[in-house]
Structure 1
Amino acid sequence: MRPVRGMSITLRLTALFAVGSTIVLLVLGYLIGGSVERHFEEQDLDVLIGKLKLTQRMLEKVRSSADLDHLAQQLDDSLVGHEGLAVVVKIPNDQLIFATSGADFPRALLEKPLSESEALRPVVWQADSGRPFRGVVVRTGTGIEGAPQAIVGVAIDISHHRHFMASFRVTLWSFVAFAAVLTGFLGWLAVRRGLAPLQAIRKEAAAVTAHRLDARIAEESVPAELADLARTLNDMLSRLEASFRRLSDFSSDLAHEFRTPVSNLLTQTQVMLSRPRSVDEYRDVLASNVEEFERLSRMIADMLFIAKADEGQIVPTREALCLAGLVDELAEFHRLAAEDKGVELACSGDGVALGDSLMLRRAISNLLSNAIRHTPPGGRVSVTVRSPGGRRVTVDIANTGETIPPEHLPRLFDRFYRADPARSGDGGQSGLGLAIVKSIAEAHGGSVSVVSEEGVTRFTLTLATA
């Protein structure tokens, strides 16, 4: 079953932008709608309080029952031109003093009038006629001494307000919906344009092939936010190019190294088979072939060792090793070769390393053999063991001779690499000795480095101390 592809960044950012803008618009619409509604409530409350105070003022001027009879006419005259306003005035014995046309107040509200403080929060109801009202009902005193308080109800028809708010909400929410769609589309355009540099990087990366590893992404043409990404990709391409070049060189060198002994074996065998030979001649050719086979065997073994080291399959044992004794043993082994060449060999220093005895012997032996081989007669090879601190111990192997050009130093530990190509195959060497030293050092968590200046070449093997 094929895995479902994840949502694209464009779709994610567009959805996020659309949802965020929609939420903002919804909140804004809600606040605007609420503000308009409260504005109408405040307007209605101003009218209601004004008419309520007017009615209360007229009741305070009533001094007798006769004045009550004139009150209705006065109230009727004062309400001229106030369409949609309903006023009712009653006394506690349910005697109706005044009521405008269509004044349909809830009975429960008339039976339990509001207090003066509650009058600031008008009540909304719907009359039997279907018209909505907002109003207040309060008790108020009259100018008749000892008379009970009258009940005054003032209400305003809010049908117009409700029709306006209904139309306003339709317009508002329609605009919010349209704005949400529009902002989503604009967000999609912005995201597409914002991610255009990524598409450009993708196209440039897609153009990189095994034959175009030198292609790089133009860092100056991408936004600052993507500059680190472009730089990282360029660094990765540089590493790939270098690795591919090393692999290509390694393949070429490997073919060249194998071609020489195989060609020697083939030529000698063909010559021997060209005509009958004596037993001694066959023995001499077989002995020569054995040397070539031994060289091939060592080369293959070295290559397998390096391949295992690259894959992390070499796990050295950890034991405390006295480097002074180990170096003295190896120096004695190589001393005869040094004396035959007229090279002085000296050892000094002491230290304890944590590692595999056989592997470290091989690494130091390779460095010693390399130093003696490249030291001219009358030269000197010195091995120095130091403990510089920091839980590290170093083995310095220095030899006099020609200074290695700086451009060769970084590649001395590459497989089959030789600073002097003319010496390829000299002395039966495969060109893997220093590569093996590097693999052994890294397997022990250490390192190996080289410095060559003023006629002295120094290799430094750094290891962990016990």
Structure 2
Amino acid sequence: MGKHLSLTTRLSLMFSLTMLAIWGLVSLALMQALDHHFARQDEADLRGKMVLVKNLLTSQLNHGQPDWGQLESGLHSALAGYGDHRLQITTPQGLLLAGSRLPRPPAPSTAEWPVIESWEEAGIRYRSIAAPFALSSRTATPDMPDSVMIRVVFDTRYHQHFIDDIKAALLWLTGAMALVSVLLGWFASRTGLRPLRALAGLATRITASKLDHRLPLAGVPAELHAPIQAFNNMLNRLEDSFQRLTDFSSDIAHELRTPINSLMMQTQVALSQPRDAADYREALYANLEAAERLGRMINEMLFLAKSDRGQLTLQHASLDLAEELDELIEFFEPLASDRQVQLRREGQAGLQGDRAMLQRAFSNLLSNAIRYTPARQAVTITIAQDENGVTVAVANPGPAIPPAQWPRLFDRFYRADHARQPATEGTGLGLAIANAIVSHHGGNLSVSSDERETCFTARFPAPSPSP
């Protein structure tokens, strides 16, 4: 049943039980303190009455033989107004000399006098003090003992009534505190959990088209700052992901439209009138070129999809980056010569990685650099190695890319404005693929650009030492 209770109800009950437990301990300590106080007060009172009785008895003895009837009358007069005090004077054998019969206490467990005792009889608590009193030898007779036993008994019903009233008041206060603590606990819980309800309300308002809502931290308890901040950060990531997805959908539609329109237009032109075999062959070659571009784009998108799901399998091997990049430079030399661009490589280093994937990543960076390098300029590939790892930088002169565009250069189908040219033959996925490959090797790919050059830098961490 408890697992179905709301968090507000649980907090209210815990607050109430805690308050009642504290109040119960305070009440118990109060009742024990009152009982101890009255016990000490009664003991002091009984000792005072014992002294009074002994003084009166001594006064009687100073005038000769004690008159027990007169003594009893005098003692009752002396004790009048002191509450429920009763007196008893007996011989050691128990013969009553003065006073009245008293409730019998438990047998004393000690012979030390005076003996103070406390017991309960018929629901009434009694306290008594008993002590022997030696008579003068000149008053002793055959009928008169040489000592008597004096007992003073106090009836504590007056105190008990006071304590019962206190208990009744505490009981009523306990009920009132239980009610108040439940209400306060409910109010405190509702107030404290208000940000969570706001969080739930915010979550119900969030849709794919409304991701700009955020929960403010002002006035929120410190314990909820972390979950609310995490929720807001999640919304930021979702908004960024949806924006990227929207841009990706728009870009992929734009990229796919061009080759598909080319296929349709060339096919329609070829079928618009009878043609000879050479014309049909030329149309088929043009369609094949467009189909190949579509195929490359689809393969690259599948590669990125596998990368996002962590399904890329790396075949690690020891690579000499200088040799691998020299091989790529030799491969791209005809394209660079055609564009009147020089290719240079500096430095050398070793790296553990997948040869085919790294060649694909560096090929994308190199072809991108060649495409945007002005004629009679050079693309420089710099290899460096230190204790932090290996760095491969591909730099080329050309128009500067604004810093605001740097983070988006690795998005799929994203191109800087100066790159959106009809002559561009790429699919817009090269940098995204290069970034994915470098990331799967534990590194990161960054870009920097100014008026002098644009540089893409791949940083790979140093290999962990073998155990």
Normalization by structure 2: what TM-score?
Answer: 0.89
1:96 aligns with 2:99: no
**Kindly tell me: are residues 131 and 283 of structure 1, through their superposed partners in 2, closer, same or farther at Cα, counting changes over 3 Å?**
closer
1:397 aligns with 2:394: yes
Matching residue within 181, 184, 207 for 2:182: 184
Question: Superposition pairs for residues 254-273 of structure 1, below 5 Å?
Answer: 254-273=252-271
Partner secondary structure for residue 408 of structure 1: helix
Partner secondary structure for residue 247 of structure 1: helix
1:456 aligns with 2:453: yes
Shift of 1:63: 6.9
Question: Superposition pairs for residues 1-12 of structure 1, below 5 Å?
Answer: 7-12=5-10
**Kindly tell me: are residues 407 and 201 of structure 1, through their superposed partners in 2, closer, same or farther at Cα, counting changes over 3 Å?**
same
1:327 aligns with 2:307: no
Question: Superposition pairs for residues 62-461 of structure 1, below 5 Å?
Answer: 62=61, 66-67=65-66, 69=68, 71-100=71-100, 103-106=102-105, 108-109=106-107, 115-116=112-113, 118-119=115-116, 122-126=117-121, 131-144=124-137, 149-220=147-218, 222=220, 226-390=224-388, 392-420=389-417, 423=420, 426-461=423-458
- Paired residues of 1:315 and 1:443 also in contact (CA < 8 A): no
Deviations 1:129-164 (A, max 9, x none): x65422133334333389654322211112233233
Match of 1:43 in 2: 41
Distance 1:126 1:98 in 2: 23
Q: Which moved more, 1:449-458 or 1:139-148?
A: 139-148
Deviations 1:381-426 (A, max 9, x none): 0101001322x10001101111122222221111001113773564
Q: Which moved more, 1:441-450 or 1:215-224?
A: 215-224
Gaps of 5+ in 1: none
Give the length in aligned residue pairs. Answer: 456
Distance 1:263 1:12 in 2: 65
Distance 2:34 2:446 in 1: 80
**Kindly tell me: are residues 385 and 83 of structure 1, through their superposed partners in 2, closer, same or farther at Cα, counting changes over 3 Å?**
closer
Distance 2:354 2:2 in 1: 50
Shift of 1:94: 2.4
Amino acid at match of 2:420: R
- Paired residues of 1:29 and 1:176 also in contact (CA < 8 A): no
- Paired residues of 1:363 and 1:436 also in contact (CA < 8 A): yes
**Kindly tell me: are residues 351 and 143 of structure 1, through their superposed partners in 2, closer, same or farther at Cα, counting changes over 3 Å?**
farther
Shift of 1:68: 6.0
**Kindly tell me: are residues 223 and 156 of structure 1, through their superposed partners in 2, closer, same or farther at Cα, counting changes over 3 Å?**
closer
- Paired residues of 1:205 and 1:217 also in contact (CA < 8 A): no
Distance 1:73 1:144 in 2: 24
Distance 1:296 1:118 in 2: 112
Partner secondary structure for residue 103 of structure 1: coil
**Kindly tell me: are residues 369 and 300 of structure 1, through their superposed partners in 2, closer, same or farther at Cα, counting changes over 3 Å?**
same
**Kindly tell me: are residues 338 and 209 of structure 1, through their superposed partners in 2, closer, same or farther at Cα, counting changes over 3 Å?**
same
Distance 1:152 1:438 in 2: 106
- Paired residues of 2:307 and 2:436 also in contact (CA < 8 A): yes
Amino acid at match of 2:94: D
Give percent identity, aligned residues only. 38
Shift of 1:248: 0.6
Gaps of 5+ in 2: none
- Paired residues of 1:25 and 1:180 also in contact (CA < 8 A): no
Distance 1:288 1:10 in 2: 71
Deviations 1:25-51 (A, max 9, x none): 112222222233233323322221111
Distance 1:124 1:84 in 2: 15
Partner secondary structure for residue 158 of structure 2: helix
Distance 1:266 1:417 in 2: 26
Deviations 1:227-267 (A, max 9, x none): 55544433332222111111011011111211221222222
